[in-house]
């Protein structure tokens, strides 16, 4: 065991002025351990509405905002959480790059270190590392409102005196203390003071001095030498520095010297600073009552239980999709009727030329209206996922699924991005940044698009509501909806196994995951997130989907036949540009039972999968007597060929189309995100493979169900 010796005290002598940044716009960073409330505080300080949640790793990118007080402005950056200054994951790398000023980024003028009042000793480790870098620091002690309930008390003035930095208690959730923090930020910016330097044990000081002497004249100060000595992995800026100054042999020598003093070089800093933190907290932090068996502990006994935990997790998912389907069904039906009435109303505007009426009624209302009809489901889905995220259940789901995930070479941490992907694959892909092992991260990233996201929901609901429910009832509809979501998860496991074990030949990474306390979701944040998601969905419908709908309408409307009035709508569409294109590509999808219109819909939806709903709204316009797009689909018949007059959307065709949509990676935004987070070859690789799998699965589904006579 390492010998922990030397009483460590903060050396008040030598505390000097920090080199203030000469740039007029001051740069402040919010830094702290994961899930300590940085983003909630950031939102309070800036008035912004960045995503928050109750699990480690919600923020994986830096977010920039501005704060002002009495006409003075400053830039504030919310960083992903990190436990110390040695980056283990991509999100920690992002945080520390901002701290060390990577890529010519402006180094911070001030660091606001956010700590959890309920776990001060651990959080102080990072604070002491920041202090050692000699940048001005303010300590924001968050969750102050919960301190009394936990049976603890903290002497803030004594803490401030010992650390040599301002200490401000805040409650980011309630906003208490935020104004005082803001005032302190501007005070510290106007008269920056470096904190008291840390008095390291003599042997660390002498090693730092010795190494510094060897490289006199370089940019390496004592603090940077300590970072180089103690870190297992370096930030990108320190990597550059090591290469530029060629100091690797000196670092090795320094580590050998540390070992001679009985410390493991990678453990030395933690052990020394931990001991220092406990000394600082002597008489500062007082525990009044024992709160070991709190509600979180009692709930965890059930929710992370080997049997009950898995059962509960397995129940939550179908209940969620049952609620999604049944709660939204009446509103969706109302919106469908409203869209149809709007379409009929627009058809009566006889003062407009016929093509304009068709564009409005069939192109815009039929296309965009068809997609917007499913807004209630998007809202309910985001609300339910938000409940899971904010309650702290995500970490428990990761815990109970760890054993299952380990069978395909992943660990429970991969479950968090996968669960997030039920809402949208893009934050899911980004959330993989919290995974330590690069190959495990890449595997998780590549299987994430298989999880059914909210964009698939309109397609599922349209087809299930139009074809499955009328024949088999609402319960069958909910089961189909759940099965489609399950299909992606079930395929993700063998896909992960193949990628991890066969392609990357990577071993199992053991799970280490912090478990946050359970908390009641805050409805304000939850509704805000649901509102943002709904707005984003509506914006997408108002831009991309309008554009695609208009293009599809134009291709389906032109060329206009000279004897247009004599031709019915179906024949006109058959002769259009789109009709010709559809007939050209239909043979590819014929084995899956798709007609030319579905084939066109599938092709048009490669940029965004919900576009297929808009395309079908344009290509299957409501005939006389039909009330909704669902009815139009039910009544659609084959125009020619061997199946002429038969319904297009039989059970085998509808299920085959659902399976295709469930497995195909029709999302340009996800493709770009995967490429940005890994490489284009991986993005294009999964795109090709998943398209091929989706086609094959659709063909097998159609042929099998047809063989059963469904």
Partner 1 sequence: MNTLKSQESFSRLDELAYDEKAIVYCVDAPESCACRLRAMGLCEGASICILHTHDPAIVKCDETRMAICRSLMKHITVCKHTVAGKS
Q: Which residues of 180-200 are buried (b: 16+ CB within 10 A; e: fewer)?
A: ebbebbbebbeebbbbbbbbb
> Is 512 one of the binding residues for partner 1 (CB under 8 A)?
yes
What are residue 168's phi and psi, to 5 degrees?
Answer: -120, 125
What minimum distance in Å lies between the beta carbon of 2 and partner 1?
6
Q: Is there a contact between 235 and 93 (Cβ–Cβ < 8 Å)? A: yes
Cα 344 to Cα 622: distance, rounded to the nearest angstrom: 9
| Residue number, 191 or 256, with CB nearest to partner 1 | 256
What minimum distance in Å lies between the beta carbon of 221 and partner 1?
23
> Is 2 one of the binding residues for partner 1 (CB under 8 A)?
yes
Instruction: Map 124-171 to HEC letters.
Output: HHHHHHHHHCCCCEEEEEECHHHCCCCCEEECHHHHHHHHCCCEEECE
> Is 522 one of the binding residues for partner 1 (CB under 8 A)?
no
Residue with tokens 């869209």: 339
Cα 347 to Cα 360: distance, rounded to the nearest angstrom: 8
Scan residues 121-150 and list those touching partner 1 (CB under 8 A).
121-122, 125
Choices 193-201, 213-221, 289-297, 604-612; region in contact with partner 1 by CB under 8 A? 289-297
What tokens appear for 522 in the block? 């805050």
Per-residue binder mask for partner 1 (CB under 8 A), 432-461, x = binder: ----x-------------------------
What minimum distance in Å lies between the beta carbon of 238 and partner 1?
16
**Whole-Å CA distances, 149 to 152, 238, 613:** 8, 42, 52
Cα 655 to Cα 651: distance, rounded to the nearest angstrom: 6
What tokens appear for 212 in the block? 């510094």
> Is 174 one of the binding residues for partner 1 (CB under 8 A)?
no
What minimum distance in Å lies between the beta carbon of 459 and partner 1?
36
What tokens appear for 502 in the block? 């066969």
Q: Out of 119, 187, 519, 703, which residue is the one contacting partner 1 (CB under 8 A)?
A: 119
What tokens appear for 514 in the block? 């912090």
| Residue number, 166 or 412, with CB nearest to partner 1 | 412
What minimum distance in Å lies between the beta carbon of 332 and partner 1?
39
Q: Out of 267, 295, 503, 689, which residue is the one contacting partner 1 (CB under 8 A)?
A: 267
| SS3 label, residue 548 | helix
**Torsion sign, CA atoms 318, 324, 327, 328:** negative
Choices 240-248, 349-357, 368-376, 401-409; region in contact with partner 1 by CB under 8 A? 401-409
Cα 555 to Cα 573: distance, rounded to the nearest angstrom: 9
E strands within 637-683?
A: none
Cα 635 to Cα 638: distance, rounded to the nearest angstrom: 10
> Is 205 one of the binding residues for partner 1 (CB under 8 A)?
no
| Residue number, 436 or 627, with CB nearest to partner 1 | 436
> Is 407 one of the binding residues for partner 1 (CB under 8 A)?
no
How large is the angle between the packed helices 308-347 and 474-497, nearest 10 degrees? Answer: 120
What minimum distance in Å lies between the beta carbon of 518 and partner 1?
11
What minimum distance in Å lies between the beta carbon of 487 and partner 1?
27
Of 621, 554, 547, the residue nearest 581 (C-alpha): 554
Q: What residues contact 669, with CB distance under 8 A and at least 6 apart? A: 426, 608
Q: Is there a contact between 346 and 357 (Cβ–Cβ < 8 Å)? A: yes
| Residue number, 267 or 315, with CB nearest to partner 1 | 267
What are residue 143's phi and psi, to 5 degrees?
Answer: 60, 35
Cα 480 to Cα 461: distance, rounded to the nearest angstrom: 10
Per this entry, what is the length of the chain? Answer: 710
What minimum distance in Å lies between the beta carbon of 84 and partner 1?
4
| Residue number, 148 or 684, with CB nearest to partner 1 | 148
What minimum distance in Å lies between the beta carbon of 48 and partner 1?
29
> Is 209 one of the binding residues for partner 1 (CB under 8 A)?
no
Q: What is the Cα Rg of the chain in Å?
A: 30
User: Angle at the Cα of 546 (from 376 to 328), degrees rounded to 5?
Assistant: 10
Q: Out of 21, 187, 296, 570, which residue is the one contacting partner 1 (CB under 8 A)?
A: 296
| Residue number, 292 or 524, with CB nearest to partner 1 | 292
Per-residue binder mask for partner 1 (CB under 8 A), 227-266, x = binder: -----x---------------------------------x
Per-residue binder mask for partner 1 (CB under 8 A), 560-599, x = binder: ----------------------------------------
> Is 270 one of the binding residues for partner 1 (CB under 8 A)?
yes
Per-residue binder mask for partner 1 (CB under 8 A), 66-95, x = binder: -----------------xx-x-x-------
Scan residues 366-395 and list those touching partner 1 (CB under 8 A).
395
> Is 341 one of the binding residues for partner 1 (CB under 8 A)?
no
| Residue number, 228 or 541, with CB nearest to partner 1 | 228
Q: Out of 29, 36, 52, 118, which residue is the one contacting partner 1 (CB under 8 A)?
A: 118
| Residue number, 367 or 516, with CB nearest to partner 1 | 516
| Residue number, 70 or 505, with CB nearest to partner 1 | 505
Instruction: Identify whether 559 is preceded by a cis peptide bond (ω within 30 of 0).
Output: yes
Q: Out of 155, 180, 514, 626, which residue is the one contacting partner 1 (CB under 8 A)?
A: 514
What are residue 169's phi and psi, to 5 degrees?
Answer: -80, 135
| Residue number, 214 or 274, with CB nearest to partner 1 | 274
Cα 175 to Cα 536: distance, rounded to the nearest angstrom: 27
Q: Is there a contact between 232 and 268 (Cβ–Cβ < 8 Å)? A: no
| Residue number, 87 or 621, with CB nearest to partner 1 | 87
Which residues contribute to the site for partner 1 (CB under 8 A)? 1-2, 4, 83-84, 86, 88, 118-122, 125, 232, 266-267, 270-271, 274-275, 292, 296-297, 300-301, 304-306, 395, 398-399, 402-403, 406, 411-412, 436, 508, 510-517
């Amino acid at each position: 065991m390492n010998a922990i010796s030397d009483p460590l005290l903060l050396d008040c002598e030598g505390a000097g002025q920090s080199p203030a940044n000469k740039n007029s716009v001051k740069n402040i960073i919010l830094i702290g351990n994961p899930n300590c409330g940085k983003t909630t505080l950031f939102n309070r300080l800036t008035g912004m509405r960045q995503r928050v949640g109750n699990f480690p790793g919600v923020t994986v990118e830096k977010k920039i905002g501005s704060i002002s007080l009495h006409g003075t402005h400053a830039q504030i950056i919310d960083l992903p959480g990190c436990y110390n200054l040695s980056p283990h994951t991509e999100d920690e790398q992002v945080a520390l790059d901002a701290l060390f000023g990577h890529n010519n980024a402006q180094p911070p003028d001030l660091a606001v270190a956010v700590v959890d009042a309920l776990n001060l000793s651990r959080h102080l480790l990072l604070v002491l590392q920041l202090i050692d870098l000699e940048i001005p620091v303010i300590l924001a002690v968050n969750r102050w409102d919960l301190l009394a309930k936990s049976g603890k008390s903290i002497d803030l003035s004594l803490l401030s005196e010992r650390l040599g930095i301002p200490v401000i208690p805040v409650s980011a959730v309630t906003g208490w203390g935020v104004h005082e923090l803001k005032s302190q930020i501007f005070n510290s910016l106007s008269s920056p003071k470096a904190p008291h330097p840390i008095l390291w044990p003599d042997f660390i000081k002498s090693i730092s001095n010795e190494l510094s002497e060897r490289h006199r004249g370089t940019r390496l100060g004592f603090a940077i030498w300590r970072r180089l000595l103690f870190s297992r992995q370096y930030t990108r800026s320190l990597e550059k520095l090591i290469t530029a100054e060629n100091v690797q042999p000196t670092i090795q020598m320094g580590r050998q010297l540390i070992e001679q003093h009985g410390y493991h070089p990678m453990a030395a800093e933690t052990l020394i600073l931990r001991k220092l933190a406990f000394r600082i907290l002597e008489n500062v932090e007082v525990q009044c009552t024992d709160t070991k068996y709190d509600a979180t502990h009692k709930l965890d006994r059930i929710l992370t239980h080997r049997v009950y935990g898995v059962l509960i997790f397995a129940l939550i998912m179908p209940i969620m999709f049952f609620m999604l389907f049944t709660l939204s069904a009446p509103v969706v039906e109302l919106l469908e009727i409203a869209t149809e009435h709007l379409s009929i109303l627009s058809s009566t505007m006889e003062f407009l030329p016929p093509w304009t009426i068709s564009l409005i009624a069939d192109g815009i209302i039929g296309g965009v209206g068809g997609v917007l009809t499913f807004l209630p489901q998007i809202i309910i889905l985001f609300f339910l996922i938000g409940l899971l995220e904010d309650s702290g259940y995500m970490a428990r789901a990761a815990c109970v699924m760890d054993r299952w995930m380990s069978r395909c070479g992943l660990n429970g941490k991969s479950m968090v991005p996968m669960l997030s992907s039920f809402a949208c694959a893009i934050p899911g892909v980004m959330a993989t940044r919290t995974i330590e092992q690069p190959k495990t991260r890449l595997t998780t990233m590549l299987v994430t698009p298989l999880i059914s996201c909210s964009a698939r929901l309109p397609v599922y609901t349209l087809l299930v509501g139009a074809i499955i429910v009328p024949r088999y009832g609402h319960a069958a509809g909910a089961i189909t909806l759940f099965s489609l979501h399950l299909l992606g998860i079930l395929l993700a496991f063998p896909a992960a196994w193949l990628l991890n074990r066969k392609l990357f030949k990577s071993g199992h990474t053991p799970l280490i995951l912090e478990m946050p306390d359970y908390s009641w979701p805050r409805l304000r944040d939850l509704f805000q997130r649901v509102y943002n998601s709904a707005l984003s969905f509506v914006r997408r419908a108002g831009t991309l989907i309008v554009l695609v709908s208009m293009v599809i309408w134009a291709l389906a409307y032109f060329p206009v036949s000279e004897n247009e009035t004599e031709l019915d709508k179906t024949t006109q569409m058959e002769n259009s540009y789109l009709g010709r294109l559809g007939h050209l590509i239909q043979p590819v999808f014929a084995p899956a039972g798709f007609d030319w219109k579905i084939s066109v819909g599938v092709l048009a939806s490669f940029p965004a999968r919900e576009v297929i709903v808009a395309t079908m709204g344009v290509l299957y316009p409501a005939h006389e007597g039909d009330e909704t797009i669902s009815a139009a689909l039910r009544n659609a018949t084959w125009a020619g060929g061997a199946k002429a007059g038969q319904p297009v959307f039989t059970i085998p065709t509808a299920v085959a189309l659902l399976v295709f949509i469930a497995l195909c990676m029709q999302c340009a935004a996800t493709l770009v995100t995967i490429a940005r987070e890994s490489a284009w070859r991986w993005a294009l690789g999964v795109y090709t493979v998943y398209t091929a799998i989706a086609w094959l699965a659709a063909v097998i589904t159609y042929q099998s169900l047809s063989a059963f006579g469904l």
